[in-house]
C-alpha cells in the first residue's frame, strides 16, 4: 500500500531528505515535517539539549522585533527567508499592532511557499513571493513585492535566521548591501544569525550539515556586525537572541550563548 503525501506538499518535493524549513517547523512544535526532518532534529538535540529552546528564542526575537518596528512607526515589512508559517507570523503581529500594516514574505522553499499561499489567501495586505535571497535585485524588482511595498517610504527588513544559509563564496555582504541600499531613510534592518562561538554549537552544526539539504555557515559577532554597515544599531546592539530586549528578565537563560544565535536591529539614517 502506498502512503500518499499530505495535500500541502508540492509535487516533486523530496520528503525523505531533511529540509531546513521543516526541521525548524518541528523544533517549533509545528506539523509540517516528516520522519527525516524529525530524525535530524532529534540527533542535533541529543548533542545540544537546549536546541528547541534556542529555536524558540529566535522565534521570540522575531516577535519582539516586529512589535518594536511597529512601535517605531513601520507599516510595511519585507521578511526574506520566512519559512513555513506557524503561530506568531509577522503579518499577525504587525496587523495586530497596526491593522493597515503590509507584509511581503519571501522564500525559495516550495513547501514554505505553498503553505504560505494557503495561509494568506484572502489577506489583501500580505503575500508570499517565490524568490531567492541570493538574488536581491529580483526580490526588489518583483511585482508582488512592489504591489505592497513602497520603497520610497520606511520598510522593516527582516533577515531572521536566513543569512547563515548563504556561503561566503556567495558573498552575503554584497546581498545585504544591495537590500540596504534600496531602503529609504528611517527603515530598519533586523537580523538573527547562527554563531559558531561555543563547542556545542559547532558539534550541532556538523550534524546538521551532514544531513540537511542546505548547509549552515555560522559566523562571528564581528562578521554579523558588518551586515549593519552604514546603519545605526539600536540598543542593546548585537547580542544573543534572548538578550535582545526581553519581555521579562526571566526570559534570559543563565547562559545566553546556548541560544546559538546573535541578533540585532539597526536604523538607516
* Mean pLDDT of the region 233-253: 95
Q: Does residue 1 register a pLDDT over 50?
A: no
At 107, phi and psi to the nearest 5?
A: -155, 155
Residue 131, C-beta contacts closer than 8 angstroms, at least 6 positions apart: 106, 107, 108, 138, 139, 142
Number of domain units in the chain: 1
**What is the structure's pLDDT at 203?**
62
Q: Which of 182, 188, 159 is nearest to 71 (CA)?
A: 188
pTM exceeding 0.85: yes
Residue 96: inside a domain: yes
Please write the tens of the pLDDT for every residue from 9-63.
Answer: 766 677 888 887 888 888 888 888 888 889 988 888 887 777 788 888 999 999 9
> Residue 168 is part of a domain; what is its CATH number?
3.40.50.150
Residue 223: domain span: 20-247+256-267
Q: Does residue 130 register a pLDDT over 60?
A: yes
Residue 89: inside a domain: yes
In this structure, are residues 165 and 198 in contact, taking their beta carbons and an 8 Å threshold? no
Residue 11: inside a domain: no
Question: What's the grid cell of residue 12?
Answer: 516533486
* Mean pLDDT of the region 98-109: 96
The percent helix, strand, coil of the chain (3-state, each to 5) is: 45, 15, 40
**What is the structure's pLDDT at 62?**
97
Better-scored residue on pLDDT, 165 or 16: 165
Q: Does residue 2 register a pLDDT over 50?
A: no
Better-scored residue on pLDDT, 196 or 94: 94
Residue 112: inside a domain: yes
Residue 14: inside a domain: no
**What is the structure's pLDDT at 29?**
85
> Of the given ranges (174-188, 227-241, 243-257), which has the lowest mean pLDDT?
243-257
Q: Does residue 86 register a pLDDT over 80?
A: no
Amino acid at each position: 500500500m502506498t502512503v500518499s503525501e499530505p495535500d500541502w506538499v508540492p509535487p516533486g518535493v523530496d520528503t525523505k531528505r531533511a529540509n531546513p524549513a521543516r526541521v525548524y517547523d518541528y523544533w517549533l512544535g509545528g506539523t509540517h515535517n516528516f520522519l527525516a526532518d524529525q530524525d535530524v532534529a532529534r540527533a542535533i538535540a541529543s548533542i545540544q539539549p537546549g536546541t528547541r529552546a534556542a529555536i524558540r528564542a529566535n522565534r521570540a526575537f522575531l516577535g519582539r522585533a516586529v512589535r518594536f518596528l511597529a512601535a517605531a512607526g513601520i507599516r510595511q515589512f519585507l521578511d526574506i527567508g520566512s519559512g513555513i508559517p506557524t503561530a506568531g507570523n509577522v503579518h499577525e503581529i504587525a496587523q495586530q499592532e497596526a491593522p493597515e500594516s503590509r507584509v511581503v514574505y519571501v522564500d525559495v522553499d516550495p513547501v514554505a511557499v505553498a503553505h504560505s499561499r494557503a495561509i494568506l489567501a484572502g489577506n489583501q495586505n500580505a503575500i508570499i513571493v517565490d524568490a531567492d535571497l541570493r538574488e536581491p535585485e529580483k526580490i526588489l524588482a518583483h511585482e508582488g513585492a512592489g504591489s505592497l511595498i513602497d520603497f520610497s517610504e520606511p520598510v522593516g527588513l527582516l533577515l531572521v535566521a536566513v543569512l547563515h544559509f548563504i556561503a561566503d563564496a556567495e558573498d552575503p555582504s554584497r546581498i545585504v548591501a544591495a537590500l540596504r541600499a534600496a531602503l529609504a531613510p528611517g527603515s530598519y534592518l533586523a537580523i538573527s544569525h547562527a554563531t559558531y562561538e561555543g563547542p556545542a554549537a559547532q558539534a550541532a552544526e556538523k550534524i546538521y550539515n551532514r544531513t540537511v539539504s542546505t548547509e549552515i555557515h555560522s559566523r562571528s559577532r564581528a562578521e554579523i556586525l558588518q551586515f549593519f554597515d552604514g546603519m545605526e544599531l539600536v540598543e542593546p546592539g548585537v547580542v544573543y537572541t534572548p538578550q535582545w530586549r526581553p519581555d521579562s528578565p526571566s526570559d534570559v537563560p543563565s547562559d545566553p550563548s546556548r541560544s546559538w544565535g546573535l541578533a540585532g536591529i539597526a536604523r538607516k539614517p
